[in-house]
Structure 1
Amino acid sequence: MKRYLVLTLRTPQFDPAAIGPHYAHLERLRAQGRLELAGPFSDKSGGAYVIRAASLEEARALAHDDPLHSRGASQVSVYEWDA
């Protein structure tokens, strides 16, 4: 499996109610052994997390299942990471 960096940047429509479901999503990824690292940016503009997936397509599907994305609270981008 490869590593992927997921960036989440808050949109103007950001709703703080999405944070709880987002954390639950991250915990599911952690329980599956897919989440390596996660955290918010200190300026509260968003955050990032590192996941493991078999392909970029799979990583995008996991990231787009994040409530931050599905609720339109954040713009979510996924990058293959050679780390």
Structure 2
Amino acid sequence: MNAPMHLYLVLAMRTPGFRPEAGEAHQAFLADLIEQDLLELTGPFTDGSGGAYILRATDLATAVQITHSDPLHITGSSTLTVHEWRARRPVPRD
């Protein structure tokens, strides 16, 4: 039996030392997460300050481990924070 998957919101805020090549490697990292069916949503902030992605993982420790392998984190190009997110769809109004 597979462990249930939870959602984790990852905020990636650029540091002053942001390196463009880390951004390119980050895109490959995200593509790998898609292949593993671990990425729910992803995208940049319109102000250029960073971006966010929603990760699927069995627990917070696993989500952090995955996030720490993101090239943005490894190179120090961005500060990444991970938050367990109990997202829900709004109930439609009548």
TM-score by length of 1: 0.98
**In 2, Cα distance between equivalents of 1:35 and 1:62:** 11
By percentage of residues, which structure has more strand?
1
- Deviation string 1:46-66 (CA, Å, 9 cap, x unpaired) is 000001000000000111100
* Aligned twin of 2:16: 12
Structure 1: 5+ residue runs without aligned partners?
A: none
Give the RMSD, CA atoms, in angstroms.
0.5
Runs of 4+ displaced beyond 4 Å? none
Give the secondary structure class of the aligned counterpart of 1:13.
coil
Cα displacement (A) at 1:78 = 0.1
Paired residue total: 83
Q: Which amino acid aligns with 1:40?
A: P
By percentage of residues, which structure has more helix?
1
Bigger CA radius of gyration: 2
Structure 2: 5+ residue runs without aligned partners?
A: 88-94
**In 1, Cα distance between equivalents of 2:20 and 2:75:** 11
**In 2, Cα distance between equivalents of 1:2 and 1:30:** 16
Mapping of residues 1-83 of structure 1, within 5 Å: 1-83=5-87
Cα displacement (A) at 1:69 = 0.3
Query: Identity of paired residues, percent?
Result: 52
